[in-house]
């Protein structure tokens, strides 16, 4: 009995209850860190895909807006589909034409002068070709564009759809 009293008087260390409490706290911290890490792993690529889709749509609208500001004639395909044709004549009597078309998820811009193709460029990628998501109409002197871009797959997939109204130069 005397041995136990001596050992109790000189005890150092943690009790079993303190050890269990610290293990529980560490487990909760670990679970919280795992949840945050998983969310960051999912959200990071999703944010990147959102940025790519936004950049594609902004680039498309800016390019079309610039061409529509010069256009004297705006001709969308029947049913609001692509191709969209914009044309104008310069002060030096050069007939310019820009045709926007969808091919394989890319929005292409083909620029011609006096009937000869000068350049063809992809102005936006990842564009949905579904006519309900991507279309254009020219009514009442306003060109209304609806474009949709889809980037990524699985949990990080992002689809953005924007509608943009362009008022070409007066007198059309």
| Cα distance between residue 67 and residue 71, in whole Å | 6
Average pLDDT value for the chain: 85
DSSP 24: H
| Cα distance between residue 29 and residue 71, in whole Å | 62
| Cα distance between residue 148 and residue 82, in whole Å | 13
- Find the largest Cα–Cα distance for the chain: 115
| Residue 102: other Cβ atoms inside 10 A | 20
Q: 3-state DSSP: the chain helix, strand, coil percent, rounded to 5?
A: 40, 35, 25
pTM: 0.72
> Pick the residue with more confidence: 91 or 80?
91
Asked if the model's pLDDT at residue 25 lies above 70, the reply is yes
| Cα distance between residue 44 and residue 155, in whole Å | 11
pLDDT for res 170: 65
pLDDT interval class at 42 (50, 70, 90):
low
């Amino acid at each position: 009995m005397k041995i136990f009293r001596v050992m109790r008087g000189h005890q150092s260390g943690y009790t079993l209850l303190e050890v269990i409490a610290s293990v529980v706290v560490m487990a909760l911290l670990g679970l919280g860190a795992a949840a945050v890490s998983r969310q960051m792993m999912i959200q990071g690529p999703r944010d990147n895909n959102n940025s790519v889709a936004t950049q594609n749509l902004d680039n498309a609208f800016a390019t079309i807006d610039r061409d529509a500001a010069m256009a004297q004639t705006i001709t969308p395909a029947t049913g609001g589909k692509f191709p969209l044709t914009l044309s104008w004549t310069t002060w030096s009597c050069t007939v310019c034409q820009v045709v926007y078309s969808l091919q394989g998820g890319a929005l292409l811009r083909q620029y011609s002068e006096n009937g000869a193709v000068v350049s063809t460029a992809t102005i936006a990628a990842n564009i949905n070709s579904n006519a309900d998501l991507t279309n254009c109409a020219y009514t009442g002197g306003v060109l209304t564009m609806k474009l949709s871009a889809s980037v990524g797959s699985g949990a990080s997939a992002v689809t953005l759809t924007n509608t943009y109204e362009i008022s070409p130069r007066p007198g059309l």
